[in-house]
C-alpha cells in the first residue's frame, strides 16, 4: 500500500477492518488526507466477521438492503435493514456480524477526538447533560443518513475540496450524534424461545424470494414454516424484526434495486417483475423504503 503523503491522516489500518474475505472496497478516503474521519464504500458477499473493539465511532449506512445478525455492546439483533438504515458502534465495543446476502454499504469512522472536541463545545468542560454513545442496530434518522450520504459524495470530490468538506462533515456528524444519543437506544437482546428455527426461516425466506412477483398469502407463508397464522406472525417478527409484509416489501425493493442498476428497463416492467400492483405503487413503496424515487435512485447511484 502506498504511504499517504499527508500527515495526521485517518487510514484504514486505524479501523478494525483486519479481514478482507467477502468485502470488496469500491472506493475509500485512504490517502486523501482526511484527518477527522475515514470512509469506504464496499460491496459485501455473505460473510461472518468478528471485529475487535473500535477506538472511534463507527457508522454503517446501508446502500442496499441486508439480512444480518449482529451482536455488539451486549445486545443482539437479527433482521433485514432497508437502504438508509444504519448501524452505530460506540467506542470500546467489539462486534460480530453475519451477513446473509450480497449488499452494498458505506462505512464511516469518526475519530473519538473529534467527538471530544465537539462535546466540549456543546456541553462544556463538565460534560453536564452529555449522553454516552451506545451501539445501535437498525437506526433510522433521516438527518444522519443524509450526512453520511454526503460523505459518500465527497469521496468523488477533488481532494482539496474533499479534505475541507470531510472535516466539516465529521464535526456535523459528531454534533448530531451527541445531540440525539439519548433517543437512540439499541434494541434489547431478542428472546430465542419464540423465534423461527433456522430451517423454518430459510424455508420461508426462500419461498418469498422465489415468488416476489406473485400474490403471496399469509397462510402459504405459515405453511412453509409448518405453523399456524398467529404463531407464524409472532415468530417471524421475533426472528427478522419485521412483519411478513414489511419483509416482502423490502425484498421486492431489493430486487428492484438490482434491476435498476445500470439498466434502461422501463419502471413499469420493473414494477411488474417485482410484484407491485402498478408503477405508482412501486414508486411510492420504493421512496418510502429507500428515501428517493426509482428514477432518482437510477440517476444518482448508478
Report all structural domains of the chain as residue ranges with CATH numbers, in order of start.
12-193 (2.60.120.280), 196-301 (1.10.10.60)
State the pTM of this model: 0.62
pLDDT computed for residue 227 by the predictor: 86
The answer on pLDDT for 297 being more than 90 is no
Q: What is the pLDDT of residues 159-202, one digit of tens each?
A: 889 999 999 999 999 999 998 887 875 444 433 346 777 778 88
Q: What is the DSSP letter of 63?
A: S
CB atoms within 10 A of CB 117: 15
Which residues have C-beta within 8 Å of that of residue 4, sequence separation ≥ 6? 11, 30, 31, 33
Cell of residue 8, nine digits: 495526521
Could you tell me if 144 and 86 are in contact, meaning their C-beta atoms sit under 8 angstroms apart? yes
Strands 136-139 and 66-72: unpaired
Across the range 143-156, mean pLDDT stands at 94
- Report pLDDT digits (tens) over 98-137: 888 888 999 999 999 999 999 988 888 666 556 678 888 8
**Could you give the CA distance from residue 133 to residue 136 in angstroms, rounded to a whole number?**
9
Q: Which pLDDT value is given to residue 272?
A: 93
Query: What's the mean pLDDT when you consider all of the chain?
Result: 84
Beta pairing, strands 57-62 & 23-28: unpaired
Phi, psi torsion values for 219, nearest 5 degrees: -60, -35
Residue 53: its pLDDT value, please? Answer: 83
Cα separation, 103 vs 281, whole angstroms: 24
Distance between CA atoms of residues 121 and 8, nearest Å: 22
**Would the pLDDT of 290 be above 90?**
no
- How far is 123 from 125, CA to CA, in rounded Å? 7
**Binning pLDDT at 50, 70 and 90, where does residue 13 land?**
low
Amino acid at each position: 500500500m502506498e504511504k499517504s503523503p499527508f500527515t495526521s491522516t485517518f487510514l484504514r489500518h486505524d479501523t478494525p477492518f483486519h479481514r478482507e474475505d467477502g468485502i470488496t472496497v469500491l472506493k475509500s478516503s485512504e490517502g486523501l488526507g482526511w484527518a477527522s474521519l475515514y470512509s469506504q464504500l464496499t460491496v459485501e458477499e455473505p460473510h461472518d466477521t468478528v471485529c475487535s473493539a473500535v477506538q472511534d465511532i463507527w457508522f454503517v449506512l446501508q446502500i442496499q438492503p441486508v439480512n444480518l445478525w449482529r451482536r455488539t455492546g451486549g445486545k443482539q439483533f437479527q433482521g433485514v435493514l432497508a437502504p438508509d438504515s444504519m448501524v452505530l458502534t460506540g467506542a470500546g465495543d467489539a462486534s460480530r456480524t453475519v451477513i446473509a446476502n450480497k449488499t452494498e454499504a458505506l462505512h464511516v469512522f469518526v475519530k473519538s477526538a473529534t467527538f471530544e472536541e465537539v462535546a466540549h463545545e456543546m456541553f462544556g468542560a463538565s460534560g453536564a447533560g452529555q449522553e454516552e454513545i451506545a451501539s445501535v442496530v437498525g437506526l433510522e434518522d433521516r438527518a444522519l443518513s443524509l450526512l453520511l450520504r454526503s460523505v459518500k459524495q465527497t469521496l468523488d470530490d477533488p481532494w482539496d475540496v474533499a479534505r475541507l468538506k470531510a472535516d466539516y462533515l465529521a464535526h456535523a456528524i459528531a454534533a448530531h450524534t451527541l445531540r440525539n444519543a439519548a433517543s437512540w437506544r439499541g434494541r434489547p437482546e431478542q428472546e430465542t424461545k419464540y423465534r423461527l428455527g433456522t430451517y423454518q426461516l430459510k424455508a420461508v425466506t426462500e419461498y418469498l424470494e422465489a415468488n416476489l412477483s406473485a400474490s403471496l398469502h399469509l397462510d402459504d407463508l405459515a405453511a412453509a414454516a409448518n405453523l399456524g397464522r398467529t404463531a407464524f406472525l409472532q415468530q417471524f417478527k421475533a426472528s427478522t424484526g419485521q412483519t411478513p409484509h414489511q419483509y416482502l416489501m423490502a425484498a421486492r425493493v431489493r430486487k428492484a434495486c438490482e434491476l435498476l442498476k445500470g439498466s434502461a428497463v422501463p419502471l413499469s416492467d420493473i414494477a411488474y417483475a417485482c410484484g407491485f400492483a402498478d408503477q405508482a405503487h412501486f414508486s411510492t413503496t420504493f421512496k418510502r423504503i429507500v428515501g428517493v424515487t426509482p428514477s432518482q435512485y437510477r440517476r444518482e447511484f448508478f
